[in-house]
Amino acid sequence: MNPKANNKAAPTRLVGCLLVAFLLVIFGGQIQKMKGQNEQSGRSQADAATSHAAIEEGRKLTLTEAVQLALKQNLDIQIANLETASKQQERLIARSALLPQASFEAEDGINRHNLRALLGIQIPIPTVPHAIGPYQAVYVGPTFSAPIFDLTLIREFQASGHRVLASRADEETVREETVLLTVSEYMAHLRALANITAAESRVGLATRLAHQADDLLMDGVASKIDVSRAQVRLREEEQQLIDAQRNADTTVYALKRILNVPDIQQMEFADAQNFSRPASLDLANPLATALAQRPELRSLAETIKATQLTHQGVIARSVPKFEFTGFWNEQGETFNTATPGYLYQASMTVPLFTGGRLRAERESTALVELRTQKELEQERNLVTEQVRDGQVELDAAAHQVQLSHEEVELANEEILLSQGRFASGVTDNIEVTTAQDSLARANDAEIGALFRYNIARAQLAYAIGSVEQIYSHP
């Protein structure tokens, strides 16, 4: 066997092995990622089709279906998903700096050089020319480089992983906020529908009382002012009905924006019974649950880890780093006369003087880490406040709902009594209109108390970090 041929083939096999390993590392991970994305995309499309079914079939949309639709179509959530995907790509970029790099180069040129300029002296030999060339030079082949040890790149890659986790926690925060906003607007719409129902009932009552005043005027029992007072009251109730209908329309537009539904799409909502009979929220230890589950706290915790690793990476810039580089190519005056050439070398780099840059970078990253720790402490205090306020608000709203039910019952009783006194001619209809005012206030108080309780329940669920879990499942 020819030893020269073996020497020529050895570098080729080495470079080939490096390229194969490099491609397996890079594209193997990409293939797995693409498979995961395809599976996730298939599941998302199936879920989206299920969520659209209620709207397309023309049936009423429940609160759970509205929340599920918002989680799949809300633009803020989609933007958060893109931000997470961007962080994942940044992690791949950080990983690529730790992997071997290879490229292919081809160069063909005509060269001519002055020997004195190249050597710095004039060779005192008459037969030696003053210049060499022109001659053709051809270089064709791959070049490569690979970090042997670079602690800064390692720390940056580790930090990028925590940034991805922080971005996912931020995405969960956006999802929680979207669910809370969806529940709030959904309940606001149900409140508007309840106001419409109450206003229609009061309009019907005012209409009957106005007819009663007309009849009593014809019988000589009531006066003209009683009729006018009843008509004024009827107009006031009709105005309240118009306002309630307007509020119902505006809440639908707000929900369409949150759900990212086309404006021309007709939507109707169910779960009115959930508004008038809200469920309770039983929690064993809400504060401990919140401190363990709130995505904002997890995001800041991962950010602290990332800043710590970034600080360690800046410190590692003072540590020597080692790199392996080289090339293998065909060299010659023409492609036909080219012969193999190669260079393999290892290098070490260590900074000696940077004008204070490394020290400033260390101080800067240390300050960023300290600031993030303070932000985490501040966020924990805010979460504690939100949980405690949510508990107090939910308890107060529950008592308010109970009292408002009793107030409505008393107002209806007052209406019946005053209506009977007016019909018997004992008094004018001032008592009746006063009772109508009491009933209107009682209805508003009851609807407001129910709305306050539903919102307080959703806000407490958000405070403990479980609003999506509670409202996205039947």
pLDDT value for 222: 67
210-258 pLDDT, tens digit per residue, is: 777 787 778 776 677 877 877 887 888 888 889 888 888 888 888 888 8
Residue 415, pLDDT > 80, answer no
Given a contact cutoff of 8 angstroms between Cβ atoms, the answer to whether 166 and 303 are in contact is yes
pLDDT band at 374 (very low <50, low <70, confident <90, very high): very high
pLDDT value for 130: 79
Rounded to an integer, what distance in angstroms lies between the CA atom of residue 202 and that of residue 437? 10
Which has more pLDDT, 22 or 197?
197
Rounded to an integer, what distance in angstroms lies between the CA atom of residue 141 and that of residue 30? 27
Residue by residue, DSSP assigns 271-313 as: -HHHHHSPPP---S-HHHHHHHH-HHHHHHHHHHHHHHHHHHH
Alpha carbon 65 to chain centroid, angstroms: 19
The CATH number given to 82-104+151-325+357-471 is 1.20.1600.10
> With the CA atoms of 198, 203, 208 and 213 taken in that order, what torsion angle do they form, in degrees rounded to the nearest 10?
130
Instruction: Collect all residues with Cβ–Cβ distance below 8 Å to 361 and sequence separation of at least 6.
Output: 314, 317
The three-point CA angle 370-373-374 to 5° equals 90
Q: Is 429 helix (H, G, I), strand (E, B) or coil?
A: coil
pLDDT value for 122: 77
pLDDT band at 5 (very low <50, low <70, confident <90, very high): very low
H/E element, 394: helix 357-423
Rounded to an integer, what distance in angstroms lies between the CA atom of residue 327 and that of residue 105? 10
The three-point CA angle 380-383-389 to 5° equals 140
Which has more pLDDT, 74 or 283?
74
Q: Provide the residue ranges of all domains of the chain, joining segments of one domain with +.
A: 82-104+151-325+357-471
> Which residue has 């118009």 as its token pair?
242
Average pLDDT, the chain: 82
8-43 pLDDT, tens digit per residue, is: 444 445 444 544 444 444 444 444 544 454 454 444
Percent of the chain at pLDDT > 90 equals: 38
Q: What is the pTM of this model?
A: 0.77
pLDDT value for 49: 52
- 381-396 mean pLDDT: 93
120-178 pLDDT, tens digit per residue, is: 777 777 777 878 888 888 989 999 999 999 999 999 999 999 999 999 999 999 999 99
Q: How far is CA 332 from CA 11, 179, 328, 329, in A?
A: 18, 69, 13, 10
Instruction: Collect all residues with Cβ–Cβ distance below 8 Å to 394 and sequence separation of at least 6.
Output: 281, 453, 456, 457, 460
**Exposure letters 156-193 (e unless 16+ CB within 10 A, then b):** bbbbbbbbbbbbbbbbbbbbbbbbbbbbbbbbbbbbbb
